[in-house]
Structure 1
Amino acid sequence: MSEQDTAMPPVTPHLVVDGAAKAIEFYRAAFGAVEAMRVPAEDGSGKLMHAAITINGGLIMLMDDFPEYGDGQGSSPRVLGGSPVHIHLDLPDVDATWQQAVDAGATIAMPLEDQFWGDRYGQLIDPFGHIWSLASPTGSDDNAS
């Protein structure tokens, strides 16, 4: 990444996506992502070997699925039949971002509701099979004593 881009944080999710360029556009529309870099594959396939975006101040790397390499380490949720990983966004206005993501094509997995632990929280699945949890504090904590 160049000097002007976001520095590499100590822990960074790296998503494998079936259609990384389309995913970047979805994440831009859904979550306000900003593209930091894009490296196309050298085989002329149009796939992305590496890309990076920022969402809500955090860095996410992503790449296209390359099943032809057969190592199993580059499999997207579509290939695997789902994802066991959730990507969490803590947001100042969860309702606005939620609606933006749904309008962009996310599927509701868990409705956005006020939760007993003090967050307004819900889960979405993006068109590429990745699970996103979105939350904002409600200002109340029903667990407080």
Structure 2
Amino acid sequence: MAKALRKVLEEHNLQLSHSACLEIVARQLGFANWQVLSAVCEHEKQLAVIVFVEHGRQQEAAAFYRSAFNASHMGTHEDSNVLYAIDLDLGGIKITVSGANPRREAEPHRGGPFFPKANGAVNSIFSLTVADAEKTLQQAIAAGGTIRNRLEISDERKRVASFFDPFGHVWALTETQRVKISPRELDELRAAELARIREARCITPAPEPAGHNL
């Protein structure tokens, strides 16, 4: 940014040192001086996610995330012309799809990381906030995902759902906006959903104890 400022000034026959331009940039961004801005930037924290899949399925996984979440391709990583990871941008978050090291898979004492061997055989869930949970869930299922929890309304009155991607990872969806619904309507929806689940599983509710009317 300081270089760009110097270039603009030079176009107008104005000369300022690089350090002076740095000070101007810092003050325009609301900092006391360049040293303060530099210190803040050095301590800035950023989180990136690495999703491990079975080695050889990286392109398949990247294609799924592009279809399910409209993720965009950022780049690839290769070693001796062998693809081992793909970088994606998912809503401003960098996600790297990496193939699990076959040697570590064959020798667990090396400590992984390993790819999931079954749906949900993981120790973390990817939580994604979206504008339309139903649409995102439909996209994910159409791309090859499997429903884990159907679309429902949470205690916070937001539509939520979850699914397994084709590689065993769990994705939880939460809608941005709250649903306009009364507590009574929410209870009725949940009762209806519970009845549906019981019917699907052929579960008969246990009889209430005699005299119990609460």
Q: Which runs of 5+ in 2 are unaligned?
A: 1-44, 184-214
**Structure richer in helix, relative to its length:** 2
Amino acid at match of 1:76: F
Q: Which runs of 5+ in 1 are unaligned?
A: 1-8
1:4 corresponds to: none
Identify if the C-alpha distance between structure 1 residues 81 and 109 changes in structure 2 by more than 3 Å, giving closer, same or farther.
Answer: closer
Distance 2:63 2:92 in 1: 17
Q: Contact 2:68–2:139 at 8 Å: present in 1 too?
A: yes
Query: Greater relative contact order: 1 or 2 (C-alpha under 8 angstroms, separation 6 or more)?
Result: 1
TM-score scaled by length of structure 1: 0.79
Moved more, 53-62 or 90-99: 53-62
TM-score scaled by length of structure 2: 0.56
Runs of 4+ in 1 over 3 A off after TM superposition: 139-143
Q: Contact 2:119–2:169 at 8 Å: present in 1 too?
A: no
Moved more, 85-94 or 63-72: 63-72
Name the larger-Rg structure. 2
1:16 maps onto 2:52 in alignment = yes
> 3-state DSSP class of the match of 1:78?
coil
**Structure richer in strand, relative to its length:** 1
Alignment of 1:1-145 (within 5 A): 10-18=46-54, 19-42=57-80, 46-48=82-84, 50-69=85-104, 70=107, 71-78=110-117, 82-136=121-175, 137-140=177-180
Cα distance, 1:65 vs structure 2: 1.2
Amino acid at match of 1:108: I
Superposed CA offset, 1:66-96 (max 9, x none)? 1214423231012897112111110111111
Taking only the aligned residue pairs, the percentage that are identical comes to: 26
Give the alignment's Cα RMSD to 1 decimal. 2.5
